[in-house]
A and B are shown apart, each in its own frame.
Chain A
């Protein structure tokens, strides 16, 4: 672990530059605006692990000194203020107090009571959890710790506790300055919480002994706080035990605050619960060794992780490809309770070996397998269908995930299935419930995939004119149907298929188009800048479109789109709305999929090339076979969905409206009485109206 930390130190700044930082932002100008300072701070901070502003869960009591950013916008670190202030005291509290600056302690922000930080060796996890639970009511405003010593606080809650006592301390001058400077600060910013301050002077000011003393005092105070929260006693004891300056006053303040704290925490807990529901399930970070070890125990497949992983992509799953299949095959005939359904098993195998690829195909295969599962399902005794079936589905989904990470569209489909199961009426008989869910799955496939594809085809065909030269990248089944349909309508156009190693998916498309007699040009992505000059439209498929308009698709698509954009060729993305996702992603690092690195080594038709052979023996060489990349919305001229042709900025609108789709809701509530065909027709009309 230590070695990893060391290397992280070097590499992490690069991440920031890729993902977030506009050029020139890495300067550590102390007088820069707070936003820049925040970024700069991120930049310098060697411990912050992931650049993602979204969806990375905080880890409580994480032994690694890494701060996980929160999914919520959190207040910016106030680095600049710490510079403004003449620092004289032994310890400089850098933030406001809950009570003194109400506008900056929004309860809703305190979603996470604990923020990982490096803890002293004497801080046991139990202590941490105690601290965080005691301080749940406290706000998370203390995101920016005043000195490196702050890293000793196990949780922000604890730290906040400490802060709370500051006004009564002799060093309050500092705090006041803060309080006054607070209102000018922007509240919304994607700054990771729990950063250590990197400013040098501060570091030197507090000695180790002082920090230790502070910590001791703080812990003591916290204990008191907890006690006083339960029953307002033990001040005397607190005083007696205190041996640090300012203890007494602190204890008094404790008494005052504890009541209001309690009230706050009750409110907050409720809102917290609500919010937690909305947070998507945290995705596993594969550089977290303890979690990986845990997951391994659960997994059906024995997976050995590849040794040479590219540093930036360590958080993504990457396994030795050869090892997975045999272990899975060996367990083919096993049957225990955890064993996935045969149909699911088969689909999993097909995912693993790449027999099924493509977002739609994978999704349909998965849903068909789940249909089989539900058909064969019977509720065990003394269990309810809704719960047991959800558990079963979860089990099977996790099996599929081990075979190959799910794509976003599959995630959406699973979510759909699970909500349908959860919404089943308890009064339904088992067979009715099963047939209802099967009908729902059928409808999803029919409506969201099949019908959507038809509709996209119809819309997109209108964009193809005689004499067009259409460029497409890789092999997208929607784009293929569009081209074939346009051809069958008698339009005269030419297709340029751009392909790339190692998958060479475009070959299949080329074959099918040639089989129809469409004139094609086949080229590799290296030549895209040349070939783009003769192209006047670019049609691309997508794995997913995110709510900021970012298109997540096969690696290489972004480059094609960028080149097309540079040459002022319109880029049209064909994507069904069920592939849309609320997530915001700014880079292709936080979420991606790693392919088989060996695929890069093998070059078809050239057996003589053996430079990379035995690459795994070399410790200096690491191969990266990324599967997806992210195309910024700027490059996208239009997104063609079944709901119409929209600009990328409309994605959040569709997401929002799609959620409260009246037809979907109706269908769900109508239950078994409703006729799927009737609803399909209704939805057709609805979509036409759109």
Chain B
């Protein structure tokens, strides 16, 4: 459905992400990465379902991955969603993915959502904003979440902050925070940032934000999307090329298309014989903004409320952070688990040894066993893990079927399926690949079998 409101959904599920190496592999694509012991894609699918958007086009990169995802979706959502999956090449960009499905798009508006988005924003709100403004594109912007603001933050926070500072997008908004006036993605910014004077002239005032993140959820007008995708074959990425292109083209007034000032005509078919002209330089701030509105191209922004949860899983650190959030009160409602009184989720079949403690923001999966005197803080432990005595796990994610022997200390790390930590292993900020056997002491390393990549 959703057709009722003339919407179609394209879900970009991705493939094997390079950023998340060694967490993901051909066997475990990014979309199926367990987040709070549920596949990552399920969050997006469930959100779509709750918004009554039940027919979805899923675009997956890579044949093998597509096969896995298809199998998983048909198993889990067979009766609830009608999912159509499309495969693109592994190295295809996001815009390429859209191009691959362009022929299947029929509805007036296209909702493009990234599979790694974990949020509880009502999609209807974004769609409503898009419709209301008669925009050609609407992007979801989210305030930058400063990672690890709360108590248990470790040294990783500082590092993370530094990383963010260098890699922030620059997003320009008009004073009313409704229209996008400028966007430069972090990857494309050199030391200097040039902003054309025409932008400022058209909008009167432009606010540049580096505290906002583009969260890879867009609503496009189909006609414009198809036109641009066809007309500019050079565009490969939505965020880095397509969106900035659309924002730039706002300024280009199109003489062939008649302007439609909203407050005057409302309806399309009425052309007042004296049409108010556009883009007048005037002393009033509001004035020129309205001039820009008169243009047929409008790029809107939907800025997420502070009380909503919105995060993307696109790096190892964000994977750990989102896992913690999902295990705590902040975003546990997304998982559908019941949270215990001590602010954590412990599966009833899991066994805790003598004097073992599980702190807040923790999740303990089905059938996991813990030895004596263990302590787990702000970590997610998957299903059927065996944890020996005296193990300390902090700020980490332990996936399914992992064996951790006695006396290990795991901090800020991700341990993938079937890995084995031998006795007295100390890990700090490490990523352990699937079925890897660890011994000794490691810090800040990615430990994985070197068979692929």
Contact = CB atoms under 8 A, between A and B. Distances in A.
Interface of A: 325-326, 328-335, 339, 342, 345-346, 349-350, 353, 355-358, 360-365, 367-368, 442, 445, 449-450, 453-454, 475, 477, 480-481, 484-485, 488, 507-508, 510-512, 514-516
A508 B263 contact: yes
A511 B262 contact: no
B125 A332 contact: yes
B53 interface: yes
Contacts of B122: 326, 329-330, 332
Contacts of B190: none
Interface in B324-347: none
Main secondary structure of the interface of B (DSSP, over half): loop
Contact of A515 (B51, B133, B273, B282): B282
B165 interface: no
Contacts of B123: 332-333
A361 B264 CA distance: 6
B23 to A, nearest CB: 33
B266 A332 contact: no
A350 B268 CA distance: 15
A516 B277 CA distance: 8
B52 A355 contact: no
B93 interface: no
Interface string B261-287: 011111111101110110010101011
Contacts of B286: 507-508, 511
Given A333-B2, A357-B263, A511 B284 contact: yes
B273 A342 contact: no
Given A329-B127, A356-B263, 15 more contacts: A329-B122, A332-B124, A333-B1, A334-B52, A335-B4, A349-B132, A350-B262, A355-B133, A445-B267, A508-B263, A510-B284, A511-B286, A511-B287, A511-B290, A515-B277
A326 B308 CA distance: 13
A23 B277 CA distance: 51
A507 B125 contact: no
Given A346-B132, A349-B131, A515-B277, A333 B262 contact: no
Q: How many B residues are at the interface, by size bracket? A: 35 or more
Given A335-B4, A511-B280, A515-B282, A330 B124 contact: yes
A377 to B, nearest CB: 14
12 contacts: A330-B124, A330-B125, A332-B122, A332-B127, A345-B5, A349-B128, A356-B262, A445-B270, A481-B273, A510-B284, A514-B280, A516-B277
Nearest to A334: B52
Contact of A365 (B2, B6, B267, B280): B267
A345 B282 contact: no
A75 B282 CA distance: 61
Contact of B128 (A329, A362, A480, A484): A329
Nearest to A354: B263
A38 B131 CA distance: 54
Given A326-B125, A361-B264, A342 B276 contact: no
A335 B2 CA distance: 8
Contacts of B4: 333, 335, 339, 342
Nearest to B270: A450
B220 interface: no
Question: Closest 8 interchain pairs by CB?
Answer: A332-B124, A511-B287, A361-B266, A329-B125, A365-B266, A515-B280, A335-B4, A364-B267
A360 B267 CA distance: 10
Contact of A353 (B5, B132, B290, B291): B132
A481 B265 CA distance: 12
B263 A342 contact: no
A174 to B, nearest CB: 64
B142 to A, nearest CB: 17
B7 interface: yes
A342 B125 contact: no
B287 A508 contact: yes
A514 B53 CA distance: 47
Contacts of A450: 270
Contacts of A480: 276
A463 to B, nearest CB: 18
Nearest to B129: A329
Contact of B274 (A355, A356, A481, A511): A481
Interface string B410-449: 0000000000000000000000000000000000000000
A368 B266 contact: yes
A361 B265 CA distance: 5
B266 A342 contact: no
Nearest to B282: A511
A355 B262 contact: yes
Given A332-B125, A507-B287, A367 B274 contact: no
B276 A346 contact: no
A499 to B, nearest CB: 11
A35 B51 CA distance: 62
Given A326-B125, A328-B128, A346-B132, A368 B267 contact: yes
Contact of B270 (A335, A364, A485, A508): A364
B127 A362 contact: no
B310 to A, nearest CB: 15
Nearest to A505: B263
Contacts of B266: 356, 358, 360-365, 368
A356 B133 CA distance: 10
Nearest to A605: B285
Nearest to A453: B272
A516 to B, nearest CB: 8
Interface in B114-139: 122-125, 127-129, 131-133
Nearest to B278: A515
Contacts of B2: 333
A342 B132 contact: no
A332 to B, nearest CB: 3
A339 B124 CA distance: 14
Contacts of A363: 266
Contacts of A361: 262-266
Identify the interface centre among B2, B128, B262, B269: most chain A CB within 10 Å of its CB: B128
